Amino acid sequence: MSNTTAPASAATTTATTDPKIRIRGLSKHFSVPGGHVVTALDSFDLDVPQGQFLTIVGPSGCGKTTFLRMLAGLESPSEGSIEVVGGTDGRPENAMVFQGDSIFPWMSVWDNAAYGLTVRGVPKAQVKETVGHYLEATGLTKFADAFPHQLSGGMRQRVSIARAFANDPEILLMDEPFSALDEQNKTLLQAELLRIWDETRKTVVFITHSVDEAVTLSDRIMVMSAQPGRAKAFIDVPFERPRDVLQLRHQPEYGEIVYDIWSQLKEEVEKAKQQADARVAPKRHGLFRR
Amino acid sequence: MTNVAEAARTPRAAARQVEQRRTLSRSTLRTISILSPLVVLVAWEAFSRAGVLDERFFPAPTLIFQALWVEASSGELWTQTQHSLTRLIVGFVIGAVPAVVIGVAMGLNRVVNAAVRPIISALYPVPKSAVLPLFLLFFGLGEDTIWYFVAMGVFFPVVINTYTGVANVSAIFYDVAENFGAKRLTVFRTVALPGAMPNVITGLELGAGMGLIMLAIAEMMGGQGNGWGFMVWNSFQLFTIESMYAYLLVFALVGLLLALIVGFVGRKLTPWISRH
Ligand SMILES: Nc1ncnc2c1ncn2[C@@H]1O[C@H](COP(=O)(O)OP(=O)(O)O)[C@@H](O)[C@H]1O
Ligand SMILES: [Mg+2]
Task: List CB contacts (< 8 A) between A146 and chain B.
Answer: none
The architecture that CATH gives domain B70-269 is Orthogonal Bundle (1.10)
Please report the pLDDT score of residue B276 as a whole number.
63
Nearest CA to ligand 1 atom 14: A63
Mention every residue, 6+ apart, whose C-beta is less than 8 A from residue A89. none
- Residue A67 CA: nearest ligand 1 atom is 17
Task: Identify the CATH class of A1-86+170-268.
Answer: alpha beta
Task: Assess A96–B contact: CB distance below 8 Å, yes or no.
Answer: yes
Nearest to A120 among B181, B194, B273 (CB): B181
Mean pLDDT of B245-256: 95
pLDDT at A287: 41
Residue B153's identity, in one-letter code, is G
Residue B6 has pLDDT above 50, yes or no: no
Give the model confidence (pLDDT) of B62-98 as tens digits. Answer: 999 999 999 999 999 999 999 999 999 999 999 999 9
Q: What are phi and psi of A269, to 5 degrees?
A: -65, -40
Q: Whose CA is nearest to atom 21 of ligand 1?
A: A65
Q: From atom 20 of ligand 1, which residue's Cα is the shortest distance away?
A: A61
What DSSP assignment string belongs to B195-242? Answer: HHHHHHHHHHHHHHHHHHHHHHHHHHHS----SHHHHHHHHHHHT-HH
Q: Cβ separation of A95 and B182 shorter than 8 Å?
A: no
With a 6 A CB cut-off, is A63 part of the ligand 1 pocket?
yes
Residues of B in contact with A115 (CB under 8 A): 176, 180, 190
pLDDT tens sequence for chain A (290 residues): 445 544 444 444 444 467 999 999 999 999 988 888 999 999 889 999 999 999 999 998 899 999 999 999 999 999 999 999 876 677 899 999 999 899 999 999 999 999 999 999 999 999 999 999 999 999 999 999 999 999 999 999 999 999 999 999 999 999 999 998 899 989 999 999 999 999 999 999 999 989 999 999 999 999 999 988 889 999 999 999 999 998 999 999 999 999 999 999 999 999 888 888 887 665 544 444 43
- Output the CA A59–ligand 1 centroid distance in Å: 12
pLDDT band at B9 (very low <50, low <70, confident <90, very high): low
Domain boundaries, chain B: 1-58, 70-269
* Any A CB within 8 A of B182 CB: yes
In this structure, the strands spanning A19-32 and A79-84 are antiparallel
Nearest ligand, CA A42: 1
Other CB atoms within a 10 A radius of the CB of residue A287 amount to 8
* Predicted pLDDT of residue B1: 39
Q: Are strands A53-57 and A203-207 parallel, antiparallel or unpaired?
A: parallel
- Residues A26 and A80: beta-carbon distance below 8 Å: yes
Q: pLDDT value at position A227?
A: 84
Q: Where are the domains of chain A?
A: 1-86+170-268, 104-168
| Burial zone of A240 (CB within 10 Å; 0-12 exposed, 13-18 middle, 19+ buried) | exposed
**Could you tell me which chain B residue has the CA closest to the CA of A101?**
B172
Over residues B143-188, the pLDDT tens digits come to 999 999 999 999 999 999 999 999 999 999 999 999 999 998 999 9
Distance A31 CA to ligand 1 centre (A): 11
pLDDT at A281: 61
What distance separates the 2 farthest-apart alpha carbons in chain A? 69
pLDDT score, position A15: 42
Query: Which of B4-8, B150-154, B238-242 has the least mean pLDDT?
Result: B4-8
> A45: helix, coil or strand?
strand
The predicted model scores a pTM of: 0.83
* pLDDT (0 to 100) of residue A277: 85
Give tens-digit pLDDT for B189-228: 999 999 999 999 999 999 999 999 999 999 999 878 999 9
Ligand 1 pocket, residue A233 CB under 6 Å: no
Residues B36-61 have pLDDT tens digits of 999 999 999 999 999 898 888 999 99
CA dist A253 → A56, A215, A235, A247 (Å): 20, 10, 13, 12
Mean pLDDT, range B268-273, rounded to an integer: 93
CB atoms within 10 A of CB A26: 22
Instruction: Determine the pLDDT at residue B255.
Output: 94
In DSSP terms, A206 is beta-bridged to A55, A174
